[in-house]
Amino acid sequence: MKKLLNPPIQLILWLVGLSLLGLSAWSLLSLKLQDEAQAESANINIKIPDAAVLDIPNVMTYTQLVQAPLFWASRKEYVPPPVEQVVQAPVEAPPIDTNLPEGRMIGIVNVGEDAFALMQDAAGQTQRLKAGDKWGAWEVKAISYSKMTVALGGQEQEIPLIADFAAPEESKQLAQVREAQAQIQQQKASAVVASNTVTLSASGSAPPQQVNPNAINAANAASAPPQPVDNKRQAPAPLTVEEALAARQRLMASRWSALTGEAPPSSGGVPVQKQ
């Protein structure tokens, strides 16, 4: 017996005991897991079908089943009624406006192999076009140095580069200068007539009747030979300061004599003698 209880035998006994202990622990754990699974499945609600479904139908239901066309000898396959096909009217394409849009070409830009045409429409907006672009319903075919070729179907038209810009308005300052020059000419003419009147009254002769200068000019123009038309209008020669002062003095002297009948005071002007 002592030989059987040697240390190797004791080790085997210890191993067998530990194995039995682990097996018992595993069996207990598996039983606990099975109990938990059964507890979870017990909470599931199963809906029992209505028992009336399994009842035998009454006699009226049986009669309706027998009278159904399912049991007729002349029964035919059900053919659904034909569906009416709605024929849609063809949509007419809108008419194409073959007229060129209102506008003009204001410039052409050549950048190497590419050329662009600058078009201005009726609203004043500028659009840049190149070959292949659309100008209204027309397609740009080619752009040269002086025109643009557009095509629509089999038609082709050329839009030339024309400088049809409106003439600029007259400057307001230039108009004012022109009016001032006209007033100076009128004052000069009035001063000459007044000086002639004062000279005649001083000499004692009767003043001549005033002649309309426009009538004299018209008579001279009728009697004079035709002259070549000069397109450039010649501006009148400007008055000097001395001429303007002398004309003013003569005008004041004539007005003084006409109002008072006396000779005006000596101020370096034209001497006037009282009759």
> Residues 84-95: pLDDT tens digits?
888 888 877 777
Q: Provide the token pair at 127.
A: 């659009």
User: In whole angstroms, how large is the CA radius of gyration of the chain?
Assistant: 63
Whether pLDDT at 139 is above 60: yes
Model's pTM, two decimal places? 0.29
pLDDT digits over 17-33, tens only? Answer: 899 999 999 999 888 88
| CATH 2.30.30 fits domain 103-160 | yes
In whole angstroms, what is the distance from residue 268 CA to residue 245 CA? 11
Q: Provide the token pair at 152.
A: 């629509």
Do residues 200 and 206 touch, judged by C-beta distance below 8 A?
yes
Q: Provide the token pair at 237.
A: 């020669």
Whether pLDDT at 56 is above 70: yes
* Segments of the chain assigned to CATH 2.30.30: 103-160
Res. 199 pLDDT band, cuts 50 70 90: low
